[in-house]
């Protein structure tokens, strides 16, 4: 994970001095997997006109399912193999406000693959400004839904997830 330094932060001219965000050029996600595209609708916004936090989480959740599908954890596989995925840790940084009409995308990179868990990062971008609006890091555990305990990933899933680490390691 890229650390945030003074050089990688810049001040947005229309925000207060306390509202810094990571410079998109300092954290390259261009080679990461595109996992979500959508729009902020008026009903996604709260009483002050910004997209409510529940919608950031919802859009990140949709991106997660696209990632899972890309590495072989598709809904048909999960159902037929009696497997599931559970988020056990999530950290979100809200970096830029989003308003109704914003067109957003989420790119995802795998950070770590273990026998029974996966750690990954989503980055949400406002497509009209290229500003990073939010970033989240999650840890998910692979489950045996019949036994209600963690289970090892298949070799195919591990290989596909590791390939995503390799393809985004220099990103």
Domains, the chain, ordered by start: 34-168 (3.10.129.10)
If one compares 145 and 165, the residue with the highest pLDDT of the two is: 145
pLDDT at 31 (0 to 100):
75
Q: What are phi and psi of 111, to 5 degrees?
A: -100, -35
As a whole number of Å, the end-to-end CA separation of the chain is: 11
DSSP code of residue 51:
B
% helix, strand, coil for the chain, step of 5:
25, 35, 35
> Which region among 15-24, 43-52, 140-149, 151-160 has the lowest average model confidence (pLDDT)?
15-24
The tens digit of pLDDT for each residue in 76-128 reads 999 999 999 999 999 999 999 999 999 999 999 999 999 999 999 999 999 99
Q: What are phi and psi of 19, to 5 degrees?
A: -100, 80
What mean pLDDT value characterizes the chain?
86
């Amino acid at each position: 994970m890229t650390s945030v330094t003074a050089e990688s932060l810049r001040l947005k001219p229309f925000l207060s001095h306390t509202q810094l965000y990571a410079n998109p050029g300092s954290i390259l996600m261009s080679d990461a997997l595109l996992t979500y595209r959508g729009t902020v609708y008026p009903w996604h916004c709260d009483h002050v006109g910004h997209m409510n936090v529940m919608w950031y989480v919802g859009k990140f959740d949709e991106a997660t399912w696209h990632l899972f599908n890309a590495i072989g954890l598709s809904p048909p596989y999960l159902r037929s193999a009696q497997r599931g995925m559970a988020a056990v840790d999530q950290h979100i940084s809200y970096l830029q406000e989003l308003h109704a009409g914003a067109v957003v995308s989420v790119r995802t990179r795998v950070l770590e693959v273990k026998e029974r868990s996966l750690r990954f990062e989503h980055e949400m971008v406002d497509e009209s400004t290229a500003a990073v609006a939010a970033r989240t890091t999650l840890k998910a555990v692979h489950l045996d839904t019949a036994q209600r305990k963690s289970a090892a990933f298949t070799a195919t899933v591990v290989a596909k997830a590791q390939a995503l680490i390799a393809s985004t390691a220099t990103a």
